[in-house]
Amino acid sequence: MGRTCSLDRQIVRAFEALLLERRAKLRESVRARMAERRTGEPRRSPEDATNAVESLGEELEVAMLDRESREAAQIDAALERLARDEYGICRSCGTVIGLGRLKALPFAQCCTACQAGVEARERGVGAEWRSRSIRPEPRAPRPALAASRGGPWRET
């Protein structure tokens, strides 16, 4: 028997049904949005502000389509793992992914610990790059002018 024997078969079937249902809803949503975009006439107003709002709405619609399409692809990958009897097994370390994580994210590929490591590495690389690009170079300390003049910061 495969590695998912550590996950109850009934639970695995419930996740499969959940994934299939979610995939069907996503596909229908994407189909409806695409059909609406194809048949809809461009709505342009003579006012620039209205055009900007409509443009922002279109960008949001495209972003939603992209997100839904990516989620559908992740669901397809999870269903393939189900078929190979690998569903619920972390792709990084091979341990069983916790039920809480699978309930929250049924197409999860990594356990919580491995995913946290991936995200920490991503943040570390991004933070290192950002800190170099926006943080000014450290300056050499300047002598305390106020101390030499007897101001409030003089050393006693």
| Cα-based distances in Å from 8 to 4, 19, 72, 141 | 8, 17, 25, 64
Q: Write down the pLDDT at residue 146.
A: 43
- Closest by Cα among 82, 110, 83, 81 to 97: 110
Q: For the domain 3-134, what is the CATH superfamily, name and number?
A: DksA, coiled-coil domain (1.20.120.910)
pLDDT averages per 10-residue partition of the chain, 156 residues: 59 91 89 77 56 74 87 94 92 93 93 93 68 50 48 41
Ranges of each domain in the chain: 3-134
Q: Kindly report the pTM of this predicted structure.
A: 0.59
